[in-house]
Chains A and B, each alone.
Chain A
């Protein structure tokens, strides 16, 4: 990577294989899963900087980062799961479920909100575990299993909330004990050089860093790539495939819990019908970031870049004063372009390496 890109033509030294051209650093860079996303992000950034005057202002950029982070945090868990070869379609409503569990528990039992936070963590992780165990035990595609849990959770969210509050939204927990402290952790603004940046941005970066470290530097990371790349091979060399997959579903659940807590302490009241459809946005972030739909390839940094692209598009359209109705069209177009670019890049690298 540190070598200059312009190298002298390869000379086969003694002992090296004369049929092989040297792989240039540029080639290596092209082999990174994040590359397509990075180029796309740069292009979009330049594009919106030119067409939208407000885009480059620090305040607007903070808003873009906030939008990116709310999806980016989920994209961390979802991208790891996709590298592990599985999907989670219930991720979107699981965020709402998690938020509702915390808000309803704290309000109905008049507890400190932290009790709700802990109960929600335990139950949400259990939800992730249910998803994982069902997939592993039945060997059905996770697409079907989590589609089922998606509908079940969506129904539960609405049904339980209405039964308990007589309303489609949870009661406000703003005045309850511990709200201020919890808000400081999950939903406060941090002053960075005079600009208010939501704390979720920092959590997002931290989670991405941790996930990247796990993927590239730890044994578990090796196992995640292996179960996604070839579960049978991984099993044959002694990788605990089932436990890794269940763990990955629980990782998504953890991210859903965190996102849910952000919703609770940012808005105090939770709309029980929210979250439907967001699971696709998380998957889009991961795929734009270079995750293969078939598993075994991808990166958490790529997913973060994917989320950033998402945030830029989402807010950039507003700053450019276009009709935001077009947002979804752009999102779909970007997904299409990103997957094709990734495909082309990967094929070229595979052929030349």
Chain B
């Protein structure tokens, strides 16, 4: 299924080839390949410090890659700002959600892309209504679009950020650990939106360190460790257990299991 969809539109929407990035003498990312196509979810997995954040900063235009190539729709690009990435249809929902907590929901929703009606005036009625409608379409009934966004729950804020990106015509959605700080139920809500975004034909890049969140929704899996790619698989090639094993550094986890087993049996003996 993934192969058919991926090749349907010719070049994939996002393709990284041999991409690397260093900060001073720290090599944060080295020789990483990744693809994201319309109607697919590409999961990027890795433990803390694996290079996930660096990877999405490159994709979203916050940082420029040092080596390798970055193609959007088959065309090589090097972004200088998130604005340029946005203009190409690549929208990023950051871990901190890029919302301003003290500002009302509707002002956040349209921040940076305000709807205007001449003389720099904002079309406030339109923006209020659209915010309410878009949130309702995602199944969130906002009591009051004028409440500061900081007063919403984590899942709701996440959904505002996703709805915002979808509304502004994103073709590719980059989600930076959207489920990291959420409870089980709220994470489920967000995962459902990821599937919904895929069904609407978006390319989704889903960054997470939780294989249990990644496996059910993902079509491709890129596993990073210490700035390198240690696995790039399609869904039919890999099981959830293998994914978990790979992510935790495989052998390390096995060792840990043995150690714990040994400790357990020792206590049993005594």
Contacts and interface: CB of A to CB of B under 8 A. Distances in A.
Contacts of A296: 100, 102-103
A233 B100 contact: yes
B99 A233 contact: yes
Interface string B136-165: 000001011001101100000000000000
Most buried by B among A15, A217, A229, A234: A229
Interface string A234-276: 1111110000000000000000000000000000000000000
Contacts of B94: 233, 236
A235 B112 CA distance: 9
Given A16-B143, A239-B112, A217 B148 contact: no
Interface stretch (A55-63, A220-228, A304-312, A336-344): A220-228
Interface in A82-119: none
Contacts of A165: none
Interface residues of A, number: 27
Contact of A234 (B62, B111, B144, B147): B111
Interface string B83-106: 100100000101011111111000
B103 to A, nearest CB: 5
A233 B99 CA distance: 6
Contacts of A219: 114, 116, 120, 122
Interface string A1-44: 00000000000000111001001000000000000000000000
Contact of A238 (B96, B113, B143): B113
A17 B143 contact: yes
A297 interface: yes
Nearest to B151: A353
A15 B102 CA distance: 27
Interface centre among A16, A20, A226, A235 (most CB of B within 10 A): A226
Contact of A222 (B62, B111, B150): B111
Given A16-B141, A353-B148, A225 B122 contact: no
A239 B86 CA distance: 12
Contacts of B150: 350
A230 B102 CA distance: 9
Interface residues of B, number: 33
Contacts of A353: 147-148, 151
Contact of A229 (B92, B97, B103, B141): B103
Given A17-B141, A350-B148, A353-B147, A222 B102 contact: no
Contacts of A144: none
Nearest to A235: B82
A64 to B, nearest CB: 33
B111 A237 contact: yes
B82 to A, nearest CB: 6
A217 B121 contact: yes
A316 to B, nearest CB: 34
Interface string B107-141: 10011111010001110100000000000000001
A350 B102 CA distance: 10
Nearest to B165: A237
B122 A222 contact: yes
B103 A218 contact: no
Contacts of B100: 225-226, 229-230, 233-234, 296
A185 interface: no
Contacts of A297: 102
A232 B98 CA distance: 7
| Most B CB within 10 A of own CB, among A217, A233, A237 | A237
Contacts of B148: 350, 353
Nearest to A297: B102
A109 B120 CA distance: 40
Contacts of A16: 141, 143
A236 B144 contact: no
A15 B113 CA distance: 30
Interface string A284-304: 000000000000110000000
A350 B111 contact: no
Given A218-B122, A233-B99, 8 more contacts: A222-B103, A226-B103, A229-B100, A229-B101, A230-B98, A233-B111, A238-B86, A350-B148
Interface of B: 62, 81-83, 86, 92, 94, 96-103, 107, 110-114, 116, 120-122, 124, 141, 143-144, 147-148, 150-151
22 contacts: A217-B121, A218-B122, A219-B120, A222-B107, A222-B110, A222-B111, A223-B112, A225-B100, A226-B107, A230-B99, A233-B97, A233-B99, A234-B111, A234-B112, A235-B82, A237-B98, A238-B82, A238-B86, A238-B112, A296-B102, A297-B102, A353-B151
- 8 cross-chain pairs, A with B, having the tightest CB-CB distances, nearest first: A229-B100, A237-B112, A238-B112, A236-B98, A233-B98, A219-B114, A238-B83, A230-B100
